[in-house]
Amino acid sequence: MNQSSFSKKPKTWLSLSEAADILGVHFTTLRRWADAGDIECMRTPGGRRRFNVEVIVQFLQHHQQTPVLNLPTVIETRVIDHTRRNLQKSSSITRHWIGQFNDEQKTQFRQTGSRLTALLMQYSNRAENGGAFLEEGKRISAGYGTLCYQAGLPITETIQAFLFFRRSILDAVHETDFLSEINDAESHQLYQRASFFFDEMLMALVSQYFSLSTTNSISCSQ
């Protein structure tokens, strides 16, 4: 398809970033999906990816029909409730790392949690083809590591913050009716995939934190 074909119907085709925004994923994630053939795209003569609006809509509709994708909204509300309750009865150590974040960083913290919750549910519900959700989660967790480093949290409190958040998510999932609707084998598989997901997120977070710390140490020594 030539360049003029795209210009005739400007509203039919979306750029990589536009399509990624609609899908709610990072543009690098959408690029990986396209390269893997998971979602169709075209190339302009200049080599840029273009996504058909109908393809994006169909992709969204397909995933919205998956029951588990309706859970993040319910679970997110319960995660917030659990987080508030846990903070009220938390130790002085927990209250200390929460106090290290300014209002903007707290907002980013909540947004990160919401996105990870959705990715966890999508990844855990797929025995196959969940790699894209895992990679997106690792990217977000690396950003969380950056956030904690910039807030001045030591690595121990950064890990404590992550474990606190993980516990809130797992408690929220446990309270839903979702687990009661699956058998023991499926429940065990879900637990294994969720555990693996969180392990990978923690590794991405710690790796990013130490990467920033090392870079800063080298800069200061020069």
Q: Does domain 66-221 have CATH number 1.10.490.70?
A: yes
Q: Measuring CA to CA, how many Å separate 3 from each of 52, 54, 178?
A: 15, 19, 48
Tokens of 48: 């840029």
User: How many whole angstroms separate alpha carbon 130 and alpha carbon 123?
Assistant: 5
Average pLDDT over residues 107-130: 75
174-196 pLDDT, tens digit each: 666 555 555 667 667 777 888 89
Q: What's the confidence (pLDDT) of residue 209?
A: 96
Q: Does domain 3-63 have CATH number 1.10.1660.10?
A: yes
Which residues have a Cβ under 8 Å from the Cβ of 173 and sit 6 or more positions away? 75, 179, 194
Q: What is the domain partition of the chain in residue ranges?
A: 3-63, 66-221
User: How many whole angstroms separate alpha carbon 140 and alpha carbon 53?
Assistant: 26
Q: What's the confidence (pLDDT) of residue 176?
A: 61
Q: What's the confidence (pLDDT) of residue 141?
A: 92
Would the pLDDT of 220 be above 70?
Answer: no
Q: What's the confidence (pLDDT) of residue 43?
A: 93
Which residues have a Cβ under 8 Å from the Cβ of 166 and sit 6 or more positions away? 198
15-62 pLDDT, tens digit each: 898 888 777 777 888 888 888 888 999 999 999 999 988 788 777 666
Q: Are 47 and 35 in contact (CB under 8 A)?
A: no
